[in-house]
Structures are given as C-alpha cells and as structure tokens.
Amino acid sequence: MPKPTKGPRLGGGPAHERLMLANLAAALFTHKSIKTTETKAKRLQPVAERFVTFAKKGDLHARRRVLASIGDKTVVHELFTVIAPQVAEREGGYTRITKLGFRKGDNAPMVQIELVLEPVVAKPKSAKKAAAAAAAEAPVEAPAEAVAPAEETVEVVEAEATEAEATEAPAEEKAAE
C-alpha cells in the first residue's frame, strides 16, 4: 500500500494529481520506460507498482480496480497478460528509477523510470548471513558426516604409509644386495 503523500499535490489539485499519475502509469505500461521529472517519477513509483500487484492477482475484481484508474482497456490488457507474467517471480520492486540530468529550460532533474522485466536473479547471500546459515546447519550435519570420514581417512593414510614403508624397505634391501 503506497504511503499517503504529504504536502501539496502535483498539478492543480487532488483530481489533477490522480489523473496525472494514472496517465503516467498508463504511459509506463505502454512504453515500458518513460522519461519524466524526478518528483513525478517518485510519486508514480508506488502507484504503478500497486497496479502491477493487482495485475499479478489477475482476477476480474483486480482488473476492474485497475480499470477504475486507467481507463484504457488495451493498456490494462497488456498489463495483465504481458507484464504480469514477466514479473510473476519478482517480490516487489517492479520499477527502476535512473537519474539522467537536468532539463534544459527549467533545470528540472529528469529521470528514466522503467519496468524491471529482467528475470529474477537470486542474490548471493552476504558473507555474514552465509556464515550464520552455515553455523546453523553445521551442528546438525558436522558430527554425522565431517568427523567420521576424517577419522577413517586418517586410518587409511596411516595404513597406506605403513604399506609404503613396507614396500620400500625390501626394495632398499634388494638394492643393497
């Protein structure tokens, strides 16, 4: 659920802001990536991600709730049939904002907001968490597997060593003879 915005609305009033954000979201879903000002993009991000969440649910009720904001049926159809399956594996964070620079004319900071449609890549665990996970698993597995084979290997190595000495010793004796 997007956090309610404090302070003045974008545009002329609340209705203007709702329309503007809905239109920006529609443009984002049509083009997958749009260039806008940083303020608008930051306001758009929670709105657009909420639409994607509805699209992932995919039932008629969700579709009607999105259609209440975005009037264009073709855009909503695209969102539910094309975009939603692509982000099915992703747990939130469906959009990405990249800062570009400043607009000529009013020096407004411009950004590119895009849908993150790449397949999800599992993040390698940080060293701390990996160590903690290993420590949690270790007491269960280590006594059973790690210790017993180690003792066996030591015995085997000793046995081999004695055999090797045994074989070397006669060879040396033969050489002496």
Partner 1 sequence: MAVPKRKMSRSNTRARRSQWKAEVPNLVKTVENGKVTYSLPHRAKVVTDSAGTELFMEYKGRKVADV
Here the tokens at position 172 are 């040396």
Residue 62 or residue 97: which is nearer to partner 1 going by CB? 97
Residue 172 neighbours by CB distance under 10 Å:
9
Select from 30, 74, 98, 153 the one that contacts partner 1 (CB under 8 A): 98
Question: Distance between CA atoms of 117 and 85, rounded to whole angstroms?
Answer: 10
Amino acid making up residue 137: E
Select from 19, 27, 33, 56 the one that contacts partner 1 (CB under 8 A): 33
Here the tokens at position 143 are 């006594």
Select from 16, 31, 73, 99 the one that contacts partner 1 (CB under 8 A): 99
Shortest spacing between CB 112 and partner 1, in angstroms: 5
Shortest spacing between CB 111 and partner 1, in angstroms: 9
Shortest spacing between CB 28 and partner 1, in angstroms: 14
29-56 burial code (b ≥16 CB/10 A, e <16): beeeebebebebbebbbbbbbbbbbbbb
When asked if residue 4 is in the footprint of partner 1 (CB under 8 A), the reply is: no
Residue 5 or residue 98: which is nearer to partner 1 going by CB? 98
Question: Distance between CA atoms of 153 and 29, rounded to whole angstroms?
Answer: 62
Select from 15, 82, 100, 130 the one that contacts partner 1 (CB under 8 A): 100
When asked if residue 105 is in the footprint of partner 1 (CB under 8 A), the reply is: no
When asked if residue 112 is in the footprint of partner 1 (CB under 8 A), the reply is: yes
98-125 burial code (b ≥16 CB/10 A, e <16): eeeeeeeeeeeebbebbbeeeeeeeeee
When asked if residue 53 is in the footprint of partner 1 (CB under 8 A), the reply is: no
Q: Would you tell me which residues interact with partner 1 (CB under 8 A)?
A: 33, 35, 98-101, 112, 114
